[in-house]
Amino acid sequence: MTRDPLRRDVLRTGGVLAGGILLSGLPSSGAASAAPGDDPSSPIAEPAVGRLRGVAEGGVAVFKAVPYAVPPVGALRWRPAQPHPGWAGTRDATAFGSSAPQLYREEGDEVLGHHGSPPFDEDCLTLNVWTPRIDTSKRSVMVWIHGGGFISGSGSLPYYSGETFARNGDLVVVTINYRLGPLGYLYFDEDGAGGNFALTDQLTALRWVRDNIAAFGGDPDNITVAGQSGGAWSVAALAGAGSSEGRPLFRRAILQSPPLGLSVPTRAESLRRTATYLDILGAEDVTELRTMPWQQLVGATVEMFERTSRWGYWSTPFLPVLDGVTLDRNPADLLLRGPGADIEVLIGWTREEANFAFGLSEEYAAATKDQVLARARDTFGGRASEAYTAYQEARPGARPVDVLMDLIGDELFRIPSLTLAERRAARRRPVWAYQFDLPTPAHEGRLAAAHCLELPFVFDNFDQWSGAPFLNGLNPRVRDGVAATMHPSWISFIGTGDPNRRPMPKWERYDQNSRTTMSLDVVTTAASDLAGYWRRLHGPASR
C-alpha cells in the first residue's frame, strides 16, 4: 500500500484504510445525582452552574467531564453551541467523558501513537479542571485547546493532563473537548447561523471559564488560552471575541505551531467542499445528514482525504470557513486589532514541522526535483529554482523531499508565525518567539524536530507519553533538561506575561531590531533573527 501523507494523516489521526474503522459509540458518563453527604476525601467545587464532586490526583484536585454546553445532538447537530443550563444536586466529576467522534485505529500510529481515545460520542462538550486547592486565591488560569488537524484529539488525553502545570505552577488548568471533523466544520449556510461550530464550542467553553473559574481558585481576569497546531489556530481565532466591555476574553495567548499559512476558504469554497461530502454519503442536504448516525458521518472522512488532497500539501479534509459570522478574516489579523491587539502573545514552531506528515512517507521519499520545483512554483512563481537551491544548500545532502518538507513547514507554520511577530512588533504589541530545534532520534532521525515534538517538553510529563513512538531514543538527561527549561518558562508567561524564568536564558521580546527568537535545544540560546534569511526569501516578492 502506498504510504503517502494523505494516508499517513488518516492513520495518524486514527483512520483505518484497511481492516475496518472503529466507530463504536459509548454512552457518556457523569450525570448529575443527589448526594446525601460529602466524602471529606473528595474535593467539592460550587460554581454557579451547580455543585461538583471531583477527585484528588497527583496532589491536585481534578474535576472531569464538566458540561459547558448542551449536547449538540438531533436538531442541534450543526448548530452553534448553547451554554449548559446547569444541574441540581451534586454532579459526579471523577471520570472523563466521551471524546468528540473521530477516526480511530486501535494499534495507533508511528508518530504519536494515539491522538484520541474512546469512548466517542456526540455528547462530548465537556471540560476538565485541575486546581491545587479549592479556595479564593485567584490563581492564574491556563485553558488548553488541543490540536489534531481539525479532525482528531481530545482534552481528556493523558498527554494534556493539567496536573504538572497545576502542581508546579500553582495554576488552574482547563482542557476542553469540542466538535471535530464533519461535525465541527461542515458548512451549510443555514439560517444565517454561520459555521465553525467547533469555534462556537471553544468560545462557549471560554465564557464558562470566565463565569465559573473563581469557584476553583482561579482568576477570571488572568486567563491564558494556549494551544498547538489546529488548537493554536483556534486560539488566534478566539482573540477577536471581546467581553461586553470590549476587552478580550483572555489576557495572554500561547500559539504553538499555529498553521496560520492555511488558506481559509470562503463560504462559496466551503459549500463546494460540503457538496463533495454530501456526494460521498449520497445525501441531499443537511436535513438528511441529521438523520445519519455519527459513525457514518465520521467514516466518510477517509474518502474526503482522497478527494480533497493535493500532492505536496498537508491534507486537511475539513477546514474552518470565513463565514462572516464567527470569522471574517485570517485569525492572525485578530491579534493585531480590536480586542486581540491587547493580548500578550508567545508564539513558536518546530524546525522541521512537515517531517511529521512527510518524513516517513515512501512515496514522498521518491519525489523528484522536477516534482518539487513544480510545487515550489505555487509559492515562489518564477523564483522557484532560486528557492529550491536555497533550501538544498541549507541542508547538505538534501533530497528533493527534504526541500519539499522545509518549504511546506515554512509556508504553513514558520513564515506566517514570523510575519505575525513582525506585525505585532511594528505596533509595539508584546510578543515572544521561539523555535524548537531538538531532533528526535526515532525512526533513524527522519522526523527530526517535527510537528508536535515540543508538547511533552511543555507539559513536562513524559510518563504520560510512553506510547508515543516519536520520543523513542531520546537521552533522558537531555530530554529532562530541555523540559526543565521550557516548562517553568511557560508557567512564568501564564502567570506574569513574561517567559523569563531560570534556567531559561534571558528572553527578550521580539522587536524589529534584534528579532530575538529563543532556540530550544540541548543548549538553549537566544538568537537574533534566527530565520531571517527564510523570512526574506518568502517576502512579498515570492508571491
Which residues are identified as catalytic?
Answer: 229, 353, 451
Contact 305, 314 (CB under 8 A): no
180 conformational bin, left if phi > 0, alpha if psi -120 to 50, beta if neither: beta
The CA distances from residue 434 to 36, 135, 255, in Å, are: 52, 35, 10
Q: Is 42 exposed, middle or buried (0-12, 13-18, 19+ CB in 10 A)?
A: middle
* DSSP letter string, 300-344: THHHHHHHH--TTS---SS---B-SSS--S-GGGGGTSGGGGGSE
Q: Within its chain, how far is the Cα of 436 from the centroid?
A: 16
- The position carrying cell 525512526 is 443
338: left (phi > 0), else alpha (psi -120 to 50), else beta? left
Phi, psi at 144, each rounded to 5° = -105, 130
Specify the DSSP class assigned to residue 143: E
3-state secondary structure 181-221: HHHHHCCCCCCCCCCCHHHHHHHHHHHHHHHHHHHHCEEEE
Q: Give the span between the Cα atoms of 526 and 479, in whole angstroms.
A: 19
Instruction: Name the region of 189 (left: φ>0; alpha: ψ -120 to 50; beta: rest).
Output: left
Cβ(283)–Cβ(133) under 8 Å?
no
β-pair partners for 526 = 518
Distance of alpha carbon 398 from alpha carbon 355, whole angstroms: 13
d(CA 339, CA 282): 43
Tell me the residue type at 343: I
Q: Which of 52, 89, 44 is nearest to 68 (CA)?
A: 52
How far is 225 from 199, CA to CA, in rounded Å?
14
- Which amino acid would we find at residue 114? H
d(CA 161, CA 169) in angstroms, rounded, equals 14
